[in-house]
């Protein structure tokens, strides 16, 4: 029985045990009423709660909606930003790759893939750097030890240092990698292709250190290498330095023009390169000057072997403008450290040895010797004294009479200059004319000779001419014609009594100016002779350019007349000269036999010790007079 009903039944039971039904009904109805009231109350509060919950839900939904909208908004903005960053990093000229603090890839761009030669599927976020480096080694886009590279890189990142490493790769490529640490312990690596910049820099550096014509190292680089060689010599290693120049290069340049001069230099450069192994520096240090540095010299004599080989190699004919050209080279050699331990000192000594090689006969080599230093000093002193000599009037002229074989009379005297040195006595021209030419004194000295010779000749009897030697340098001087006119005028000597002797080298250098000067002199009435004929280049073609009055056949042919060949040459020259309307003089006739020979061979004139040695002016008159009776007799 329900507990409540049991309770109500109990209350409605009277003491006699009878149930009062009215009371029970009342009690049950009251209970129902109360229950109904309670149920309504609960219903109402449930409805209230449900309403509140719904309200709460609606609020939450709104919040969620708002938040979701904000998130979407942020997401859209982030996507936009990502797109921007993506576009930016994929369009930058540098390759970019970012690593985290564990040296693993975070992001990278397209350019990084291109520069490292990797495919997109070979690189991924989270990949360790070491793996990337091995892939790149396989592609040839990383050079070096990857473990060492990483450990140095991580150390720099840990110190917060930005560093750049350059990788020289195959195919002349250079990649510069800059690693910039990030605050989170990782770093960003930018890869820049600097190949073009490095190539340009290398080109500029090459140009600064090499000669443009031959591409050989220039003086600057040669000196750097020489300094390094000297430093090595301190560790006991010996070396040799050659100073080398081409004999007669100037003549080629002047005769054939600079273009062919350049061709010749290039050819010589190639030959020099071919003579040595790559350890030897071959440099062009001046116009026709070269220098060689031979490291690791074992025996001094090895340098001589190479020098000899070079002389022979360079000497081979070079075909220029259709002509085979022969150019000799002379070489001065110094041994490091025996002959010096300073670049300037070594080069000076090598120059002295070169100078000696040239003086001793071109196309050869000489080692430096300490006595050369003394000789160079002597040479400088000679130059000083020579200038002084002209000022102080120490030059004198001797005259060598020239005999005409037809008239048996002295028809000309050649003026030959001598230097009356206050201490050393009479110095022959061969010792000072070349020096005077080198220092440019020859122009003033030549003018003095011309004036003095014309003045002296004015005192000679009859129409006896005076022959004056002209240096090629005087021929090149614009003042020559006025000087000749001045000398003739002040001496009062008719132009037809002056002969000017030039050498073949003048004609080889035939510039328009030289020819014009010769024609002007001829126009004045001055005679022009070709001196020492047959000893120069003997390119007979120049005889067509100018009609000489006289060919002086060089002494060497006259000396050698016992040989058929020399006789044939002299005969050919006299025949040729006659048919060209020129007369011939045999130089250096020392014996009666030679005189007979040259007479038979058709020479018109003779000059030589047999007739007379060169004489001081005062003695010339005697020689002239001595031949006069002969002339009278033969007439
Ligand atoms: P060169 O013009 O050929 O003069 C002839 C040279 O031969 C002279 O020498 C003369 O002494 C020498 N000689 C003449 N006959 C004989 C001989 O029978 N036997 C030998 N062994 N030698 C003989 P020198 O006077 O010593 O002159 C040498 C050269 O110096 C000249 O050769 C000439 O080229 C040059 N020279 C002389 N004077 C002058 C000058 O005033 N100006 C210029 N530019 N050069 C000069
Ligand atoms: Mg002469
Ligand atoms: Mg001569």
Position in ligand 1 atom list of the atom nearest CA 470:
44
Using DSSP bridges, classify how beta strands 318-320 and 289-294 pair: parallel, antiparallel or unpaired: unpaired
Minimum mean pLDDT range among 148-162, 316-330, 519-533: 316-330
pLDDT in tens, 264-313: 999 999 999 999 999 999 999 999 999 999 999 999 899 999 999 999 99
pLDDT of residue 251: 81
Helices (H) and strands (E) in the chain, counts: 23, 22
Question: Best mutation site among 396, 415, 429 for ligand 1, i.e. most ligand atoms within 8 A of its Cβ?
Answer: 429
Centre of ligand 1 from the C-alpha of residue 610, in Å: 15
Q: CA 370, 371, 372, 378: dihedral to nearest 10 degrees? A: 130
Q: Is the pLDDT of residue 48 over 80?
A: yes
Look-up: residue for tokens 């047959």? 534
Q: How far, in Å, CA of 178 to CA of 164, rounded? A: 4
CB–CB of 217/283 below 8 Å?
yes
| The pair of three-digit structure tokens given for residue 502, joined into one six-digit string | 């030039």
The residue whose C-alpha atom lies closest to atom 10 belonging to ligand 1 is 614
Ligand nearest 554 Cα, by number? 3
Q: How far, in Å, CA of 487 to CA of 492, rounded? A: 8
Question: Residue range 528-555: average pLDDT?
Answer: 87
Mean pLDDT of the chain: 92
Question: Residue range 572-578: average pLDDT?
Answer: 95
For the chain, percent of residues with pLDDT exceeding 90: 78
Ligand nearest 558 Cα, by number? 1
Query: In a 10 Å sphere around its CB, with 0-12 CB exposed, 13-18 middle and 19+ buried, how is residue 344 labelled?
Result: exposed
> CA nearest 415: which of 402, 424, 434?
402
Centre of ligand 2 from the C-alpha of residue 434, in Å: 15
Confidence of residue 203 (pLDDT cuts 50, 70, 90): very high
Position in ligand 1 atom list of the atom nearest CA 609:
18
pLDDT in tens, 608-624: 999 999 999 999 999 99
Q: Which residues line ligand 1 (CB under 6 A)?
A: 400, 415-417, 428-430, 433, 446, 449, 469-471, 501, 531-532, 555, 587-590, 607-609, 614
Centre of ligand 1 from the C-alpha of residue 266, in Å: 38
Residue 416's Cβ-side half-sphere holds a number of Cα atoms within 13 Å equal to 21
The residue whose C-alpha atom lies closest to atom 4 belonging to ligand 1 is 416
The residue whose C-alpha atom lies closest to atom 15 belonging to ligand 1 is 608
CB–CB of 523/515 below 8 Å?
no
Question: 107 has which bridge partners?
Answer: 98
CB–CB of 527/490 below 8 Å?
no
Q: Is the pLDDT of residue 633 over 50?
A: no
Centre of ligand 3 from the C-alpha of residue 450, in Å: 17
Q: Where are the beta strands (DSSP E) in 368-408?
A: 395-404
The residue whose C-alpha atom lies closest to atom 33 belonging to ligand 1 is 469
pLDDT of residue 133: 95
The residue whose C-alpha atom lies closest to atom 12 belonging to ligand 1 is 588
Question: Residue range 512-533: average pLDDT?
Answer: 94
DSSP helix/strand/coil, 499? strand
Q: Is the pLDDT of residue 634 over 50?
A: no
Residues whose beta carbons lie less than 5 angstroms from ion ligand 2: 469, 501, 531
Ligand nearest 614 Cα, by number? 1
Centre of ligand 2 from the C-alpha of residue 210, in Å: 45
Question: Residue range 452-462: average pLDDT?
Answer: 95
For the chain, percent of residues with pLDDT exceeding 70: 98
pLDDT of residue 179: 95
Look-up: residue for tokens 């564990």? 102
pLDDT in tens, 230-255: 999 999 899 999 999 998 788 888 87
Q: How far, in Å, CA of 321 to CA of 319, rounded? A: 7
Centre of ligand 2 from the C-alpha of residue 22, in Å: 183
| Sequence-separated (6 or more) residues with CB below 8 Å from residue 328 | 246, 247, 248, 311, 314, 315, 362, 363
Ligand nearest 402 Cα, by number? 1
Centre of ligand 3 from the C-alpha of residue 506, in Å: 14
Question: Best mutation site among 395, 412, 416 for ligand 1, i.e. most ligand atoms within 8 A of its Cβ?
Answer: 416
Phi, psi values for residue 229, rounded to 5°: -65, -40
Ligand nearest 453 Cα, by number? 1
Centre of ligand 2 from the C-alpha of residue 36, in Å: 163
Using DSSP bridges, classify how beta strands 409-421 and 395-404 pair: parallel, antiparallel or unpaired: antiparallel
Question: Residue range 176-189: average pLDDT?
Answer: 95
| Sequence-separated (6 or more) residues with CB below 8 Å from residue 395 | 389, 417, 418, 419, 420, 445, 448, 449
Q: How far, in Å, CA of 259 to CA of 255, rounded? A: 11
Centre of ligand 3 from the C-alpha of residue 501, in Å: 8
Q: Is the pLDDT of residue 326 over 90?
A: no
Is cis: bond before 337, omega within 30 of 0? yes
How far apart, in Å, do the first and last CA atoms of the chain sit? 199
Question: Residue range 494-515: average pLDDT?
Answer: 87
Centre of ligand 1 from the C-alpha of residue 602, in Å: 23
Continuous segment of H or E residues that includes residue 422 = none
Position in ligand 1 atom list of the atom nearest CA 610:
18
pLDDT in tens, 385-419: 999 999 999 999 999 999 999 999 999 999 999 99
CB–CB of 397/417 below 8 Å?
yes
Give the CA angle between residues 212, 216, 221 to the nearest 5°.
100
Ligand nearest 397 Cα, by number? 1
Q: Is the pLDDT of residue 635 over 50?
A: no
Position in ligand 1 atom list of the atom nearest CA 587:
15
Q: CA 540, 545, 547, 551: dihedral to nearest 10 degrees? A: -30
Question: Residue range 493-502: average pLDDT?
Answer: 97
> CA nearest 495: which of 530, 450, 461?
450
The residue whose C-alpha atom lies closest to atom 34 belonging to ligand 1 is 469
Count of beta carbons in the 10 Å neighbourhood of residue 386: 20
Centre of ligand 1 from the C-alpha of residue 579, in Å: 28
CB–CB of 202/118 below 8 Å?
no
Residues whose beta carbons lie less than 5 angstroms from ion ligand 3: 531-532, 587
Centre of ligand 1 from the C-alpha of residue 282, in Å: 41
Question: Residue range 452-468: average pLDDT?
Answer: 96
Question: Residue range 334-345: average pLDDT?
Answer: 94
Confidence of residue 502 (pLDDT cuts 50, 70, 90): very high
pLDDT of residue 273: 96
Ligand nearest 532 Cα, by number? 3
**In Å, what is the CA distance from 415 to each residue of 248, 401, 626?**
28, 9, 19
Q: Is the pLDDT of residue 462 over 70?
A: yes
**In Å, what is the CA distance from 242 to each residue of 279, 293, 328, 347, 622?**
14, 7, 15, 9, 55
The residue whose C-alpha atom lies closest to atom 43 belonging to ligand 1 is 469
Question: Best mutation site among 401, 469, 605 for ligand 1, i.e. most ligand atoms within 8 A of its Cβ?
Answer: 469
The verdict on pTM exceeding 0.75 is no
Confidence of residue 542 (pLDDT cuts 50, 70, 90): confident
DSSP helix/strand/coil, 51? helix
Centre of ligand 2 from the C-alpha of residue 501, in Å: 6
């Amino acid at each position: 029985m329900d507990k409540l009903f049991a309770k109500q039944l109990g209350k409605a039971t009277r003491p006699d045990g009878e149930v009062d039904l009215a009371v029970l009904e009342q009690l049950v109805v009251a209970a129902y009423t109360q229950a109904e009231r309670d149920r309504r109350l609960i219903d109402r509060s449930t409805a209230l709660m449900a309403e509140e919950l719904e309200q709460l839900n609606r609020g939450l939904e709104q919040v969620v909606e708002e938040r979701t909208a904000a998130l979407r908004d942020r997401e859209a903005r982030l996507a936009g930003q990502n797109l921007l960053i993506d576009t930016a990093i994929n369009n930058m000229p540098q390759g970019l790759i970012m690593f985290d603090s564990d040296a693993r890839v975070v992001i990278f761009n397209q350019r990084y893939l291109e520069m490292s030669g990797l495919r997109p599927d070979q690189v991924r976020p989270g990949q360790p750097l070491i793996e990337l480096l091995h892939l790149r080694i396989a592609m040839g886009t990383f050079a070096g030890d990857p473990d060492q590279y990483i450990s140095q890189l991580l150390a720099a990142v840990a110190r917060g240092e930005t560093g750049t490493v350059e990788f020289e790769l195959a195919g002349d490529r250079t990649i510069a990698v800059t690693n910039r640490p990030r605050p989170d312990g990782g770093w960003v690596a930018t890869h820049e292709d600097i190949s073009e910049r490095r190539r340009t820099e290398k080109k500029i550096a090459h140009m600064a250190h090499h000669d443009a014509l031959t591409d050989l190292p220039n003086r600057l680089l040669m000196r750097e290498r020489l300094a390094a060689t000297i430093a090595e010599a301190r560790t006991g290693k010996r070396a040799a330095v050659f100073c080398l120049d081409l004999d007669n290069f100037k003549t080629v340049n002047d005769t054939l023009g600079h273009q062919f001069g350049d061709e010749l230099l290039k050819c010589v450069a190639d030959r020099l390169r071919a003579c040595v192994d790559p350890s030897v520096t071959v440099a062009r240090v001046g116009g026709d000057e070269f220098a060689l540095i031979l490291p690791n010299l074992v025996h001094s004599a090895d340098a001589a072997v190479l020098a000899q080989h070079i002389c022979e190699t360079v000497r081979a004919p070079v075909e220029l403008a259709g002509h085979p050209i022969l150019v000799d080279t002379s070489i001065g050699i110094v041994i490091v450290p025996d002959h010096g331990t300073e670049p300037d000192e070594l080069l000076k000594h090598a120059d002295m040895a070169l100078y000696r090689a040239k003086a001793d006969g071109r196309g050869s080599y000489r080692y430096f010797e300490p006595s050369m230093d003394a000789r160079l000093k002597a040479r400088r002193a000679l130059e000083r004294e020579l200038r002084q000599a002209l000022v102080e009037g120490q030059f004198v002229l001797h005259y060598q009479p020239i005999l005409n074989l037809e008239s048996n009379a002295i028809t000309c005297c050649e003026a030959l200059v001598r230097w009356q040195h206050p201490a050393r006595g009479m110095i022959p021209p061969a010792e000072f004319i070349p020096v005077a030419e080198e220092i440019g004194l020859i122009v003033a000295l030549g003018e003095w000779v011309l004036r003095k010779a014309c003045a002296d000749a004015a005192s000679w009897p009859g129409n006896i001419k005076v022959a004056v030697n002209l240096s090629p340098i005087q021929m090149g001087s614009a003042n020559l014609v006025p000087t000749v006119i001045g000398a003739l005028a002040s001496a009062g000597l008719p132009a037809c009594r002056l002969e000017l002797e030039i050498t073949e080298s003048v004609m080889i250098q035939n510039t328009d100016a030289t020819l014009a000067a010769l024609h002007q002199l001829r126009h004045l009435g001055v005679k022009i002779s070709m001196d020492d004929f047959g000893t120069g280049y003997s390119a007979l073609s120049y005889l067509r350019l100018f009609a000489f009055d006289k060919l002086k056949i060089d002494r060497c042919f006259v000396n050698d007349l016992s040989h058929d060949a020399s006789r044939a040459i002299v005969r050919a020259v006299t025949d040729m000269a006659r048919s060209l309307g020129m007369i011939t003089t045999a130089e250096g006739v020392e014996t009666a036999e030679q005189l007979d020979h040259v007479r038979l061979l058709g020479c018109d004139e003779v000059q030589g010790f047999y007739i007379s040695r060169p004489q001081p002016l005062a003695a010339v008159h005697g020689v002239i007079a001595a031949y006069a009776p002969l002339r009278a007799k033969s007439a």
